[in-house]
Amino acid sequence: MNPSGDDLPLGREVGYLDVYDASLLRPVARAEGRSAWLGAGASLPFLGEDVWHCYELSWLGQEGVPRIAIVRLRVPCDSPNIVESKSLKLYLGSFAQTQMETPTAVRSLLARDISGVVGCETGVELLGLGQLSQVRPLAGESLDGFTPRLSKYRRDPRLLTASGAWGRDCIHTNLFRSVCPITGQPDWGSIVIDYEGRQLKRESVLAYLVSHRLSPGFHEDAVERVFVDLQQVAEPTRLSVQGRFLRRGGIDINPFRSLHQETAGLDRAPRQ
């Protein structure tokens, strides 16, 4: 059951527990963000997953010495829920003074609790500091050198324009920004688009992506809206959109949606 907004810790002052407590986790139903563009009972027009990296996990080993790891979560895009990010931060923080036998025991507990909240099996890895994916440049050509005259800063798909030509293009921008629908805080990120279809004018794609600047939505909602808007205009046979959002609360979130690919690349963007 999805909690009311008053039950979510995001945007509220809350106490920080340091002894394991799975009840801190809170779900947010994906259907809420999708209700504006997806009819009731309709199938999803994409494949994909959300890749989370959580940098603030520590627990006590059996000898009482703190242990640390980076958590990578891989949540399928067809899960009923996402986990609310601040509740995840609080939950991970509750391991701080919890004694655990092995990292495997920690991973098993995380997998059980988080899968239960999102409503399906969630991939969970514990990574050492040397195991995290390498930082690589974003795929495709950057749109950031274009200088269209911009004045719209709320999502406007009408800004997208396509030519009559058909082709393949891979582009990205580091200028993406949206706002948290609960706190109003900015969410900064990069967007990578790879498609084959009616060719979109690159200046129009940049203007469209910038138009999200004051639009509310969780990271996952923002990427899905971009995907659906591009699909309607480009009529592609191939399309993938990935968001690479900056850390907030020690967590970065990377939603990936695609017509043809279920899993995302795991490299980190330079700003992450």
Q: Which residues have a catalytic role annotated?
A: 180, 187
* Cα gap 109→57, rounded to integer Å: 13
- Token pair 């986790």 in the structure block, residue: 25
Residue 230 CA: distances (Å) to CA of 21, 52, 188, 225, 269: 41, 24, 20, 8, 22
Farthest-apart Cα atoms in the chain, separation = 67
* Cα gap 82→52, rounded to integer Å: 11
* Cα gap 45→38, rounded to integer Å: 9
Residue 10 CA: distances (Å) to CA of 50, 53, 73, 161, 272: 19, 18, 20, 37, 22
**DSSP assignments along 53-87, one per residue:** EEEEEEEE-TTS-EEEEEEEEEEETTSSEEE-HHH
**DSSP assignments along 185-226, one per residue:** -EEEEEEEEEEEEEEEPHHHHHHHHHTTTT-B--HHHHHHHH
Do 174 and 243 form a contact (C-beta atoms < 8 A)?
A: no
* 3-class SS of residue 41: coil
CA angle 74, 270, 49 (to 5 degrees): 20
